[in-house]
Amino acid sequence: MQVILRERIEGLGAAGDVVDVKPGYGRNYLVPRGLAYEATQANVRRIDAERAAQTRRDTETLDSARQAASAIEGVSLTFHARAGQEGKLFGSITSADIAEKLAEQGVQIDRRTIELEEPIKALGVTSVPVRLHPQVRPEIKVWVIASED
């Protein structure tokens, strides 16, 4: 029995490949679980249409990420925080704080996309990357200044 794989299956092949499998394996496992289609002309066209739609979605996602990156790229955020004598903060600046400050400036970013390895706990400038897409990672400058309290 010939089937067209919808996704990569270890030992069989990659998505879109036409492979020969035993009839029971194809009929009872691959097709019911949505891992493959029977290799007919209609299903070949169906796979091609799915591949084209996925490529289109990927391109749209990349374009929207690039647009968001252009809005974020030059952004500089300033936080005023209480600090001790050595420049250590009494609190910390987290990714949620950065996302909130960005929202105040009109840029909506999910806090989970901000790649802050650990909260900022010292005065100074920190460059914080934002993961919008695997290929798009703009950086935000975060300034932490001692408050006058």
Q: Within 10 Å of residue 136's Cβ, how many Cβ atoms?
A: 19
The whole-chain average pLDDT of the chain stands at 90
Which amino acid makes up residue 5?
Answer: L
Q: Look at residue 142 and tell me whether its pLDDT is greater than 90.
A: yes
Share of the chain above pLDDT 90, in %: 60
> Which pLDDT belongs to residue 73?
84
2-63 falls under which CATH superfamily? Ribosomal protein L9, N-terminal domain (3.40.5.10)
pTM of the predicted model over 0.85: no
3 state DSSP class of 104: helix
Looking at residue 51, its pLDDT comes to 85
What contacts 83, CB < 8 A, 6 or more positions away?
89, 90, 122, 123, 146, 147
User: What is the number of other CB atoms lying within 10 angstroms of the CB of residue 100?
Assistant: 12
- The pLDDT of residue 149 is above 80: no
pLDDT score of 117 more than 80: yes
What are the residue boundaries of the structural domains of the chain, listed by start?
2-63, 69-146
- The topology (CATH level 3) of 69-146 is Ribosomal Protein L9; domain 2 (3.10.430)
